[in-house]
Structure 1
Amino acid sequence: MPATARSTDTRRVILDVAQRVMAHKGYSAVGINEVLAEAGVPKGSFYHYFNSKDAFGEALLQSYFDEYVSDMDRVLAQPDKSAAERLMAYWQQWRETQSVDECQGKCLAVKLGAEVADLSETMRLAMKEGTSAIVDRIERTITSGLTDGSIAIDGDARGVAQVLYGMWLGASVMAKIQRSPAPLDTTMAVTRRLLHL
């Protein structure tokens, strides 16, 4: 295997392990040594793959959001469903993902959002870019639903998309606090009302 492929693979392993560990513990609670040990990568090689811990955090978030929006695109692109059905399938998948392991979820935006926004400007900007990409997709699907007649809203599509995303983030945090999917279920019901479904 060429050295560049090995380097890319090792970098990917580090990011995958970090995402899994930090989804449970948070960013500050996880040291680089813990990630490298679990990834089976020598401690001294971290700076070969990342210039700093901030650069590592930024790469982690970019990688996470790239995967997230790719999966979101798959859910929202089902041609045999109305825009309303596609959007509700996305929210249902969110509910299922955030209800696992006693509502500890797997969403880094939920787990790390407030924490990293105060730690690092580069990580805050990566978080902002990633969450904006999600809101963009929600907005496009709402607009598509207005066109196909499966969705009706009060207000503009961008504003409703932002409210929905914020509401689901908040519900995910509350589900973690309460160790119950009830906030997610309430948010699902309110989502239906906002979209007039």
Structure 2
Amino acid sequence: MKNLPTRDRLLTEGLRLIHEQGFGNTTIFHIVKAAGVSADAFDEHFACKEDFALQVLDVYFANGRATVDATLRNDDLPPLDRLRQYLALNLAHLDRDGMRNGCLYGNFAAEGSDYSDLIRHRITEIFEYVAQSISYCLRAAAQTGKLRPRLEYDEVANFAVASLQGAILLAKAQRSPVPVLQFERSLFSLILA
């Protein structure tokens, strides 16, 4: 960690802290202390805590986009397998901390969107990207005959994003993967059947 540039250390440690204890509970002092740098170093790289939060979201989204690209938007895989793999990778990510931290997007939606319109808009853009990617995957499934052709792809995709986020919140509260697994089962057996 000490070998990372200061900005990267701040973002890495800040992301970890915000994900573990929430945006409101994480102060700039906590972030600089965890990164092993001075408060001045924070000010050199970030205009304010809001700017920092937006950059943390971008770091987290870079990983999320890689997951989406490897699954939902991966045309080399059968479409419904892509969706299952996307859900499996999300569940594996949640399981790394025993479901304690949930999804940073959902956490920011619940907490950070009251703090900042910029954060709220960025979260909305991220959720829209995920929904568009699910819709893309569903359309591909319909083209291969694996889904009924008149399905409202965008509507189902938005429903899936909202439902998955709700399932992740329940998984976080229950410290159990069961809500996410139930969501997946319902999505495939009731909605996409």
The residue aligned with 1:18 is 14
2:29 to 30, 33, 39: 33
| Residue identity opposite 1:87 in structure 2 | L
Provide the rounded CA distance (Å) in 2 between the counterparts of 1:105 and 1:151: 34
How far apart in 2 are the matches of 1:166 and 1:187? 11
**Contact 2:143–2:149 (8 Å) recurs in 1:** no
Mapped pair 1:195 → 2:192: yes
User: How big is each residue's C-alpha offset from its partner over 1:47-100, in whole Å with a ceiling of 9 and x where there is no partner?
Assistant: 111111111111211222122112221223445421011111101111222234
CA contact (8 A) 2:102 2:169 kept: no
* In 2, Cα distance between equivalents of 1:45 and 1:96: 34
Mean Cα displacement is larger for which, 61-70 or 130-139?
61-70
Residues 1-197 of structure 1 mapped to structure 2, 5 A cutoff? 9-105=5-101, 107-152=103-148, 155-193=151-189, 194-196=191-193
Alpha-carbon distance in structure 2 between the residues aligned to 1:61 and 1:46:
17
Say whether the 8 Å CA contact 1:145–1:151 is kept in structure 2. yes
CA distance in structure 2 between the partners assigned to 1:67 and 1:150 by the alignment: 29
Q: Unaligned stretches of 5+ in structure 1?
A: 1-5
Instruction: Please identify runs of 4+ aligned residues in structure 1 that moved more than 6 A.
Output: none
Q: Which moved more, 1:46-55 or 1:74-83?
A: 74-83
Distance, in Å, in 2 between the alignment partners of 1:166 and 1:28 is 23
Alpha-carbon distance change, 154 to 147 in structure 1, aligned in 2, over 3 angstroms: closer
- Cα offset, 1:106, TM superposition: 5.1
Over aligned residues, Cα RMSD in angstroms? 2.0
CA displacement at 1:174 relative to structure 2: 0.6
- In structure 2, relative to structure 1, the CA distance for the partners of 1:160 and 1:60 (3 Å cut) is same
1:83/1:144 contact within 8 Å kept? yes
How many residue pairs are counted as aligned between the two chains?
190
Q: Does the C-alpha gap of structure 1 residues 33 and 140 become closer, same or farther in structure 2, counting only changes over 3 Å?
A: same
What TM-score do the two structures reach when normalised by structure 2? 0.89
Separation in 2 of the partners of 1:192 and 1:153? 16
Aligned to 1:3: none
